Amino acid sequence: MGACPTDAIDLKGGYSGEQVFGAVKGALSQEKQNGNPVTVLFASHRDEALGGLPTELNVSKGNAPVAVATVGGKESARVITAVLPSISAVNIEWIKTLHTAGARDVVLLSHPYDDGVYREDAHWILNRLHSRPALVTKEVHWLETTPGNSKTVLNFLNDLHRSETQAKKSAPVLLPVKERNKLFPSIVSALIGTVLLFGMFALAIPLDIPAGMTSANGSAIRVALDLKGKISVAAIPPGMTLPEGADVEKIFGGEHYPVSIILVVDGETILDETYRPSGVGSNGRISTLEFLPIPSGSHQIEMRLKDDENDYRVVFSDTIVLEKSQVVVFHYDDKSDMVTIR
């Protein structure tokens, strides 16, 4: 997917862009043999799942890689609809190939660029179009709609197919691409936060040992967290069937869960805290570093963690021996769902 961020590459359902594009080219070839004018419409799983496509353009209803339908009155055209995981999955070289193969128009259907939760999709495809202005001809159309607004799509296509509109077509004026540091403040904050956290690990342990050793008789535990956190995905509306391979989280969004930790030493709770995501929108990383003095010697330690709607689960339970002047770090790894000690 070119310049897309890592999260966008992790697509579910075994998606293959070239297979979808191959189906589009096959349908286009058939329609041109029949002498029909053709419009190719690229949309996303989110558009289809939330009712943003007219019924006749829904791909999933026919269980086929593309949908082909006639749109318009007397001046109708055949519309080939391809649904991708996101609009940023469109390879802009496809536009040139489709025009060469006889497509009259290519429409890129996007959610509004300022839609904060999903705007990275629009950002990447717009960025690539700006980098290849020769591909942005009068036959290319950028259409922004809000979720569920299928009427706007249908009205746009009906108007596009009119002879008056075809005669007056001009190259679209693309939205300016926002600076990434303004578009992705949470990503920048996360990187800075991670660096600072590791710096805290390196600096805080030796600095805190003298003060902590006196009261703790020479031992201490540090609890370290640095994770993205889980997301509460909104419920799928009753009766809705998502396109095959669609990512529910990307379509419906959700809120980040906080992380709660209970640390029990020899049957006594010494830590019971809840940590919330950072950032203005509470969608950043969850990072913390706790210092807990305890007496040296052998201790039975249990750490419980809660990071979703379920109850606490035990992520560490064992007996460890702390020597005098020793500090151990309990670091939770969300990928393995385990605590490592160092």
The answer to whether residues 198 and 240 belong to one domain is yes
The pLDDT value given to residue 128? 78
The answer to whether residues 173 and 194 belong to one domain is no
**310 φ/ψ angles, rounded to the nearest 5 degrees:** -80, 175
Higher-pLDDT residue of 260, 58: 260
The pLDDT value given to residue 47? 84
CB atoms < 10 A from the CB of 55, how many? 11
- Find tokens 């009155």 and name the residue: 73
What is the pLDDT confidence band of residue 201, given thresholds at 50, 70 and 90? low
Identity of the highest mean pLDDT range in 48-52, 114-118, 266-270: 266-270
E strands in the chain:
38-44, 66-71, 77-84, 105-110, 140-144, 219-227, 231-233, 254-256, 259-265, 268-275, 286-293, 297-306, 313-322, 326-333, 338-341
The answer to whether residues 189 and 103 belong to one domain is no
Q: How many CA atoms lie within 13 A of 313 on its CB side?
A: 12
The answer to whether residues 169 and 293 belong to one domain is no
- Find tokens 């393995």 and name the residue: 336
The answer to whether residues 163 and 192 belong to one domain is no
The answer to whether residues 204 and 332 belong to one domain is yes
Higher-pLDDT residue of 316, 199: 316
Adjacent-strand bridge partners of 265: 268, 301
The pLDDT value given to residue 255? 72
Cα 327 off chain centre by: 38
| Domain coverage including residue 206 | 185-341
Domain final position from 123, 156, 182? 182
The pLDDT value given to residue 247? 62
The answer to whether residues 178 and 50 belong to one domain is yes
Q: Is the pLDDT of residue 245 over 70?
A: no
3-state secondary structure 77-143: EEEEEEEECCHHHCCCHHHHHHHHHCCCEEEEEECCCCCCCCHHHHHHHHHHHHHCHHHCCCCEEEE
The average pLDDT across 185-202 equals 53
Q: Which of 33-42, 115-124, 131-140, 254-263 is the least confident region?
A: 115-124
Higher-pLDDT residue of 140, 146: 140
The answer to whether residues 112 and 176 belong to one domain is yes
The pLDDT value given to residue 98? 94
Q: Is the pLDDT of residue 94 over 60?
A: yes
pLDDT, tens digit (0-9, with 9 covering 90-100), for 156-173:
999 999 999 999 988 877
At residue 24, what is the residue type?
V
pLDDT, tens digit (0-9, with 9 covering 90-100), for 176-189:
766 544 444 444 45
Q: Is the pLDDT of residue 293 over 70?
A: yes
| Number of domains within the chain | 2
CB atoms < 10 A from the CB of 144, how many? 16
Q: Is the pLDDT of residue 213 over 70?
A: no
The pLDDT value given to residue 8? 39
The secondary structure of 291-304 as a DSSP string is: EEE--SEEEEEEEE
Domain final position from 182, 207, 228? 182
